[in-house]
Structure 1
């Protein structure tokens, strides 16, 4: 139990918006059984995953994960979710990632972390101290974002942030 945070990727599919793609992902089994026009449209985007003896198919791919990095979650709540800490999913732009990356760089220079990436209290959100774990998560996030900014294709894929606890 605690704050779990994820960035997911969904393919951009002609004639479908992000909400429709996410709905298709949720109902993938039913769509596959029906073998209708919608399934024909999305089937080339379906990926097969296997982990720990389980297998599944999905349009969604996990691209980053954090646990109890409440300072990173706080940034997403304030800068992507319009202040709503509601466990819903939100689309993230390349510009959003660049801003968060810049904040991580500034924090790692030990520039006022409580102003740049303040911690956030919440149910099982972890420590709110500006300690080694705080800086470790910020540095890890910087590395994740550096890779995504260099390699993620925002022209062909959506990026979505969600957190739960």
Structure 2
């Protein structure tokens, strides 16, 4: 059991998974702070502009500013709050997903949603 984060797309009446992250609590914190308050299992629409903002933050991250720009969040099942090699692996994974999604997702035809379960 732990923090599971999903991005899904809804072109019409069909939901397709577009990304999945496990215990990346900094991503939960970012959505909660920069998009809207996250409730357990709720779907939050994510715009192209939201992802561009996240991409900009991820591109700026350094060991000196990560605690301010992309902070971790404590929670019972949320995983580590350390800024160690696992944090940077998670950052790299989120960044790769954001870059790929911005390059190929059709925001005109589909709606992207964020959802977290804990």
TM-score by length of 2: 0.94
In the TM superposition, residue 110 of structure 1 has moved relative to its aligned partner by: 3.4
In 1, the alpha carbon distance for the partners of 2:96 and 2:24 equals: 14
Provide the residue aligned with 2:20 in structure 1: 65
In the TM superposition, residue 79 of structure 1 has moved relative to its aligned partner by: 1.2
Q: Which has the higher helix share?
A: 1
Is 1:116 the counterpart of 2:99 in the alignment? no
Provide the residue aligned with 1:42 in structure 2: none
Provide the residue aligned with 1:56 in structure 2: none
Match of 1:79 among 23, 26, 34: 34
Aligned partner of residue 134 in structure 1, secondary structure: helix
In the TM superposition, residue 111 of structure 1 has moved relative to its aligned partner by: 4.4
In 2, the alpha carbon distance for the partners of 1:134 and 1:102 equals: 18
Deviation per residue, 1:16-54 (Å, 9 max, x gap) = xxxxx5xxxxxxxxxxxxxxxxxxxxxxxxxxxxxxxxx
Q: Give matches, 1:10-21, under 5 Å.
A: 10-11=10-11, 13=12, 21=13
Provide the residue aligned with 1:164 in structure 2: 117
Q: Based on CA coordinates, which of the two structures has the bigger radius of gyration?
A: 1
Q: Give matches, 1:1-165, under 5 Å.
A: 1-11=1-11, 13=12, 21=13, 59-81=14-36, 84-87=37-40, 88-107=42-61, 109-165=62-118
TM-score by length of 1: 0.68
> Gaps spanning 5+ residues in structure 2: where?
none
> Gaps spanning 5+ residues in structure 1: where?
14-20, 22-58
In 2, the alpha carbon distance for the partners of 1:152 and 1:110 equals: 30
Q: Number of aligned pairs?
A: 117
